[in-house]
Chain A
Amino acid sequence: MNSKIKESFLYRLDPRTKMLLLLVFIIVGCMIMDPFVTLGLLVLAYILYRTTGFSRRQIWGLTKPLLLAFFLFFILTFPFAKPLPGETIYFYLLPGNHVAVTASAVLSGLASAIRFVFFIWTADLITSVTPTGDIVLTMNKAKMPPEASIAIGIAFSYIPVLKNEIGTVIEAQKSRGASFESKNPFKKIQAYIPVIVPGLFISIVKGREIARAIEARGFTYDPTHRTYRKDIHLVAKDFLVMFLAVLFAVVVSYFHSKRGWFGTTFIWNLLTK
């Protein structure tokens, strides 16, 4: 991660603020059915990404594998949307009047697909700007038992270690003539067994080492009264961001529930009428 991200406004917020922010994004994302407005949210997420210091390449790298999912969510949604009463049916996809193609169906398909990208982006953005130590501190603040928060904290610290180890396993099996290239999923499953089993074994061994290490450093002395050297504090900018985020959610839900805004054809109707 580059230093610009670490200097950014978002990175320096309290982890609880960031989590609230993510929650608001999810709530708002769920309320808005209109693809155009959802696209607006996506643009907002993009601006946040860019101002935080992520490069276009990083965002594209994350987004590229999502494109097929984008398509999948579209086809999972659009054929099953019932035509609204009195809506024009352009044509039927299947003979016998099945799968009506209507504006609302296409729009809801699009909205689902865009919403998916929005969720992934915001979750990625928030997790990228939250150091794992902060996640552990937040869990402590939430009065999670110290055993649970330390286990999760160590899990994050060990990702690179295990990545390395499992990477070596892959090289070792390749050296034994293994090939992971098969397109047949069943063959591919079989091919991965020689990687998964040693990977798990190494994880178990590391698990024992971790257990011995935390014992030798006195973790079981008195976990509930241990010192946490670092603390997290909410400061003015946190409250400001929280206020804005909640306000945003409230405004959207007001218009959503009282005025019936942001339905699937919300903008479409404005445009066509």
Chain B
Amino acid sequence: MKKKTKLGILGLVIIFALFIAFRVFYQKGAKLLADLYPWNYVALVVIVALLIFFLVRYMKKSKNAPEEESVAPTDAVSGRKPLMSSNQIGLAAAFGGAAFAFRALGIAVPMVPPLTMDPGALMPCLGGMCGGPIVGIIVGIARGIPSGTPAVDLWAQPIKGIYWYFVWKQITKIKSEKKRWVVFAITTFLLQFFVEQPMFIAGNSFILHLYPFYPTWPFTLAWYSVVYSIFQFVVFAAIIKAFPGLFNWQSDKKKKRTQSV
């Protein structure tokens, strides 16, 4: 299973690489604004399909292998394995609430209106990173329900939670802390540009017909994904530095006591 997860992540990385190569190649060509549509579709479908595939594997694994966790919580009466432990429910609920609270308090960095960078939008990712994919999904749904465009947010926000869980699992495996920060920073940008942005822009353009997918992505909003990924990285980095234990972030420096939060 672990091998497969690795392969999957590798697959995603290869897709990114191909994407970049394709862009670089294509941008040199003359027909800059020509028919790119099928490629975008294909890439999106492949990426989303892979994510769903891994999620299904993950759920199966957690269902079939309760012996891995010796004290797997079960319901008192039926002995059913619950979808989430109480701690995960609590975390999902608090993060879901916080996602909305940040926005309601106007804690957002306005870019070109109406684009804002809102820490609430990072909560599904953080939920996935420290609570697992299910927490990521729940926080995403909680974030998507009160959204102005639920038709997009209700599926796109949970997906963010899912892939960040998988990506984070891989990042934390890197031994050297320095290397880990670099990979983390680059991954943040890649995911922003190749997954998150296309996902939301696709939603807004194909589902809601608010604007054309191409050239909004990548040309019109390319700068936005750069700035946004900086924002995301700065916030994530501050949070991870403050609560390394919670995010399973091993420090190279002297061993400190484990997180007491």
Contact = CB atoms under 8 A, between A and B. Distances in A.
Interface string B210-239: 111001100010000001001100110011
Contact of A166 (B107, B110, B111, B212): B107
B101 A163 contact: yes
Interface in B85-140: 85-102, 104-105, 107, 109-115, 117, 119, 126, 134, 137-139
Interface string A161-197: 1110111001000000000000001101110110111
Contacts of B148: 119-120, 123-124
B113 A29 contact: no
Contacts of B80: 223-224
A170 B82 CA distance: 37
B243 interface: yes
B77 A204 contact: no
Given A196-B107, A220-B73, A159 B209 contact: no
Interface string A116-158: 1001100110010000000100000000010110111111111
A185 B223 CA distance: 13
Contacts of A210: 89-90, 93-94
Contacts of A124: 148
Contact of A155 (B84, B85, B97): B97
A211 B89 contact: yes
Nearest to A193: B238
A254 interface: no
Interface string B58-90: 000000000000000101111010111111111
Given A151-B92, A189-B230, 11 more contacts: A80-B215, A115-B210, A154-B97, A162-B94, A192-B235, A199-B101, A204-B94, A205-B261, A207-B87, A207-B93, A215-B86
17 contacts: A76-B210, A77-B211, A119-B151, A123-B148, A123-B150, A145-B83, A148-B134, A152-B142, A159-B101, A162-B98, A185-B117, A192-B235, A196-B238, A203-B97, A204-B94, A207-B91, A222-B77
Contacts of A148: 83-84, 134, 137-138, 141
B261 A33 contact: no
B211 A152 contact: no
Interface of B is mostly: helix
Contacts of A120: 148-149
A189 B109 contact: yes
Contacts, number: 241
Nearest to B234: A189
A34 B153 CA distance: 25
A26 B152 CA distance: 11
A200 interface: yes
B208 A77 contact: no
Contacts of A60: none
A220 B90 contact: no
A72 B220 CA distance: 11
Interface string B233-261: 01100110011001000000000000001
**Which interface class (under 10, 10 to 19, 20 to 34, 35 or more) fits B?**
35 or more
B66 to A, nearest CB: 16
A268 interface: no
Contact of B119 (A135, A196, A211): A196
Contacts of A150: 89, 93
B27 interface: no
A158 B107 contact: no
A188 B142 CA distance: 26
B24 interface: no
B146 interface: yes
A214 interface: yes
Contacts of A48: none
Given A190-B234, A220-B73, A147 B84 contact: yes
A199 to B, nearest CB: 6
Given A30-B207, A189-B117, A204-B246, A159 B100 contact: yes
